[in-house]
Amino acid sequence: NAGVMQNPRHLVRRRGQEARLRCSPMKGHSHVYWYRQLPEEGLKFMVYLQKENIIDESGMPKERFSAEFPKEGPSILRIQQVVRGDSAAYFCASSPSNEKLFFGSGTQLSVL
Amino acid sequence: GEDVEQSLFLSVREGDSSVINCTYTDSSSTYLYWYKQEPGAGLQLLTYIFSNMDMKQDQRLTVLLNKKDKHLSLRIADTQTGDSAIYFCAEFTGSARQLTFGSGTQLTVLP
């Protein structure tokens, strides 16, 4: 049973470009979470999704950020018009029951 | 509100026990977790405890929960160099439906 798969592991973008981060949850998990980790900080909640639904996006910036978890395929975190402050590690987690979360290895986004 | 606090650094000698402490503020927390993060890696779920438990032991790991004081600790017995990592405490509350993490404790194991 493969773990939570995130790709790419590293993503480099120039200011103003778009970043797309992908997350495939563990088999049988219908809950997906996205967290952001800034250097030397803990993880901050961004968004919680179930299949085709956003349940809680209270941690996501109102502009430029969006997330989806379609019926088929991975969850996508999309950042439009990236700025240097978006540089961080973005972690996805999945859960079978909304309580025990299993994390992927993260995507390190670097904005030049 | 929700706030989870941890001390930033801990150094121990190989073979000694490590105790990492955490305080939280949300009394409605249902589960409390310990995650381990090694450099450049994701978070590995180490152990967790349900809020109606006082203690949980899993091999070298012992979790103690003092719900009255909202204090959680992780004890690692016979600490090894491979235990060097950042350890995150996290709480889950049903109302928030999300994990809230502390800032992490950097554990350094000295030979």
The whole-angstrom distance between A82's CA and the closest CA on chain B is 22
In chain B, what is the greatest distance between 2 CA atoms, to the nearest angstrom? 44
User: Can you give the pLDDT at residue B26?
Assistant: 79
B42/A91 CB distance under 8 A = yes
pLDDT tens by residue, B2-11: 589 998 999 9
User: Can you give the pLDDT at residue A97?
Assistant: 76
Confidence of residue A16 (pLDDT cuts 50, 70, 90): very high
User: Strands of B55-58's sheet, edge to edge?
Assistant: B4-6, B18-24, B71-76, B61-66, B55-58
Averaged pLDDT for residues A43-53: 91
User: Hunting for tokens 């900080």 — which residue is that?
Assistant: A41
Averaged pLDDT for residues B83-88: 96
pLDDT tens by residue, B41-85: 888 999 999 888 999 999 999 999 999 999 999 999 999 999 999
pLDDT tens by residue, A63-111: 999 999 998 899 999 999 999 999 999 999 998 876 788 899 999 999 9
Averaged pLDDT for residues B85-96: 84
DSSP label of A26 = P
Q: What is the dihedral of CA B89, A6, A96, A42, to 10 degrees?
A: 20
Hey, is A85 helix, strand or coil?
helix
User: Hunting for tokens 């026990």 — which residue is that?
Assistant: B17
User: Can you give the pLDDT at residue B2?
Assistant: 55
Confidence of residue A51 (pLDDT cuts 50, 70, 90): confident
- Provide the mean pLDDT of chain A: 92
Residues of B in contact with A44 (CB under 8 A): 101
How far is Cα B103 from Cα B8, in angstroms, rounded to an integer?
7
Residues of A in contact with B88 (CB under 8 A): 42-43
DSSP label of A9 = S
In chain A, what is the greatest distance between 2 CA atoms, to the nearest angstrom? 38
The whole-angstrom distance between B98's CA and the closest CA on chain A is 7
Non-local CB neighbours of B57 within 8 Å, separated by 6+ positions:
B63
For A55, the closest of B43, B45, B97 (CB atoms) is: B97
User: Can you give the pLDDT at residue B1?
Assistant: 46
**Chain B: residue whose CA lies nearest to A106:** B42
Give the number of other CB atoms < 10 A from CB of residue A2: 7
